[in-house]
Chains A and B, each alone.
Chain A
Amino acid sequence: MSKIKPAVLAVVALVAITLPLYATPYMLQIATTTACFAMLGLAFGLGMRVGLPRLDIAAWWGVGGYATAVLMEHGVSFWLTIPAGGLISVIISFLVFSLALPRGMVAFFVFSMVIAMAFSQVFGSLSFLGGWGGITGVPSPTIFSFAFDTQNRIYYLGLLFVVVTIAVYLAFYHSRIGRAWDAITSSPRLAGSVGVDVVRYRMVNILVGSFFIAAAGSFYVIHYHAAIPSVFSFTAGVNTIAYLFIGGFTHSLAGPILGAFIVTFIPEYLQFAQTLRPIIIAAVVIFILMFLPAGLLGVWDNKIKPRLAARPPERRE
């Protein structure tokens, strides 16, 4: 079984790296968008690692996006806008969730929903953020004289963002902090008993997630060269949760990526009317919630993998 995982990984990596060689520009653009949504899905997965469903994703996504858009309008380098947006997100997250986390799960839910709805409202209402039309004409990022102004370059930048995100999350998951997180999800009561400060560890998780969600927002905005309130709306944010669920949230890394891929790529090729797409995606998610609660990777885990293991081992020559 351990032969499959590295093999799949290698194939995926290969395809991802060589994509610009054979993909159409349109396909590349979608791939870049997929990378974006994958980052959001990964952050949601991070939250689920401590048993916290992050309905507030849209808020920080928007903060990162708008921070980048506004600062770049004033000539700030893209690379500085990332920590700027990230820092704002982290600070506000800390303030809001210090109220919510000690009060329990339901409080957390409601707070995160409310904060996302509030930000949706704020993004559209403030005139210096461009009102409901948003900010357009966001320039491409540059390093010295090298500009990320072609689709290829942006795609690779996106890939880099995803890889860095995954690397950081992995470092956490395989550390003592990650083990504490797993303990908290498994049994908060027992975790507290062995000395784990549940609230503190959850807060760390939230803050890390908020930072990376903001970073995803920063990237999104230079990919589409615009920051528009409807993109960062609460409902849009909630839809990113769909990706994780379709993929399967028991796999914090593979699940969101698979889900993001399915949700972004496939409908484009089926070319349904834009307005019907959310309905179809929503219906698919409901189907999965009802019948495949562990997502597609769950089907793999529970149905396909055991069958493969039961086959007689291949002969070694």
Chain B
Amino acid sequence: MSLSLFFQILINGIMMGGTYALVASGLTLTLGVIKVFNFAQGHFLMLAAFATYAIVVALGLPYWVAVIVSFCGMALLGMLIYFGIIARTLRHGFFNSMLATVFLATIIEQGSVVTFASQTRTLPVVVKGTAKLGEVTAPYSRLLVIGISLVVLIALHFFMRRKVGKAMLAAAENSDVASLMGINPNRVFWMTMAVGCGLSGIAGAIVAPVYGAYSSMGSVIFSRALLVLMVGGMGSMSGALAGAFLIGILESFAFQFLGYWNLLVVLVLVGVLMYFRPGGLLGKPMPLPGE
């Protein structure tokens, strides 16, 4: 394999890794703090991808507007869903809330199918041109995706160190104790939901120019996010990060050699990893509330 091809595959892998990292971080955050397994996590990405399409193609506005709108829009949606649905289902248990998100995902996906049919919406390339370093080439559009995802991930890291982020971590550890420390769990929860969905939103905005927007992308990316969580360890943010890039790169190389069988290969590898390190690379097996 030529060096150029190798790097192409690698870049693709890192690009998808960055996307998965955003989605998986959001999923982990929601799972850890609110103890809700947000099944619709991938679907927020899908909505954002369509929104990006609408903003850039239909409205003709610049790309960066779409990115910001995606983040804010999905964050807002997350907050609404928290108050509208989750706040109520939380008192009925973990599984209840998770199921609610499952069916929310169904509504979003079906709604998308009904509205947009099965056609993929493609977007124009955001940044034309290709970077060149010796023999290695990488399209700027893909580097942009990597760039934005890294920026957001770093921002997230610092956010978690600020007061709000720390409150989230405290609530994740033990929400009763946290409320005794003066942290309002309800406030932390909706903010977590907003951040989690916002992250998916950005992921959708950055992935849209490369892969377009189509109705099933939510489930597809969610299934990858699940694998990331398995590999990185449930409830571990750094694990999600490591796992995401690992899965992204693995998937990319597997696709090169095996086409659409790559998912199966990744699955088998993850299964093997689970046998030897059930807690994932960095995390520990996370007990559900009540265990």
The answer to whether A and B interact is yes
> Residues of A with Cβ closer than 8 Å to B?
53, 96, 99-100, 102-107, 109-111, 113-114, 117-118, 121-122, 125, 188, 234-235, 238-239, 241-242, 245, 275-276, 278-279, 282-283, 285-286, 289-291, 293
How many residues of B sit at the interface, in one of the four size bands? 35 or more
Partner of B100, one of A105, A234, A279, A286: A286
Q: Are A238 and B89 within 8 A (Cβ)?
A: no
**Interface SS, B side:** helix
Q: Are A125 and B230 within 8 A (Cβ)?
A: no
Partner of A106, one of B219, B270, B287: B287
Known A106-B287, A110-B234, A293-B92: A118·B263 in contact at CB below 8 Å: yes
Q: Are A279 and B278 within 8 A (Cβ)?
A: no
- The total number of A-B Cβ pairs within 8 Å is 112
Q: Are A282 and B285 within 8 A (Cβ)?
A: no
Q: Are A286 and B103 within 8 A (Cβ)?
A: yes
Known A110-B234, A289-B96: A103·B110 in contact at CB below 8 Å: no
Cβ-closest 5 pairs across A and B = A293-B92, A282-B103, A105-B288, A282-B106, A290-B88
What are 21 A-B pairs with beta-carbon distances under 8 A? A104-B285, A106-B287, A117-B226, A118-B263, A118-B267, A122-B264, A235-B109, A235-B219, A238-B102, A239-B106, A278-B106, A278-B107, A279-B110, A282-B104, A285-B103, A286-B107, A289-B92, A289-B100, A290-B88, A290-B100, A291-B88
For B114, list chain A residues within 8 Å (CB): 275-276, 279
Known A282-B106, A282-B107: A104·B287 in contact at CB below 8 Å: yes
Q: Are B113 and A106 within 8 A (Cβ)?
A: no
CB distance from A198 to the nearest CB of B (A): 11
Known A241-B99, A275-B110, A279-B107: A114·B275 in contact at CB below 8 Å: no
Q: Are A118 and B264 within 8 A (Cβ)?
A: yes
Q: What is the bound-complex CA distance between A283 and B105, given in angstroms?
A: 11
Q: Are B264 and A121 within 8 A (Cβ)?
A: yes
Q: What is the bound-complex CA distance between A239 and B106, given in angstroms?
A: 9
Q: Are A53 and B95 within 8 A (Cβ)?
A: yes
For A275, list chain B residues within 8 Å (CB): 110, 113-114
For A278, list chain B residues within 8 Å (CB): 106-107, 110
Q: What is the bound-complex CA distance between A109 and B98, given in angstroms?
A: 11
**Interface SS, A side:** helix
B286 close to A (CB within 8 Å): yes
> Residues of B with Cβ closer than 8 Å to A?
37, 85, 88-89, 92-93, 95-100, 102-104, 106-107, 109-111, 113-114, 219, 223, 226-227, 229-230, 234, 260-261, 263-264, 267, 270-271, 274-275, 278-279, 285-288, 291
For A110, list chain B residues within 8 Å (CB): 226, 229-230, 234
Known A283-B107, A286-B85, A293-B92: A107·B285 in contact at CB below 8 Å: yes
The residue in chain B whose Cβ has the minimal distance to the Cβ of A245 is B99
For B279, list chain A residues within 8 Å (CB): 103
CB distance from B167 to the nearest CB of A (A): 23
For B93, list chain A residues within 8 Å (CB): 293
Given A53-B95, A282-B107, 7 more contacts at CB 8 Å? Answer: A105-B287, A110-B229, A275-B110, A282-B110, A289-B89, A289-B96, A290-B89
Q: Are B230 and A235 within 8 A (Cβ)?
A: no
Q: Are B89 and A114 within 8 A (Cβ)?
A: no
For B97, list chain A residues within 8 Å (CB): 289
Q: What is the bound-complex CA distance between A105 and B223, given in angstroms?
A: 18
CB distance from B235 to the nearest CB of A (A): 8
CB distance from B79 to the nearest CB of A (A): 17
Q: What is the bound-complex CA distance between A111 and B226, given in angstroms?
A: 9
Q: What is the bound-complex CA distance between A239 and B286, given in angstroms?
A: 26
B37, B102, B270, B275: most-surrounded residue (chain A CB, <10 A): B102
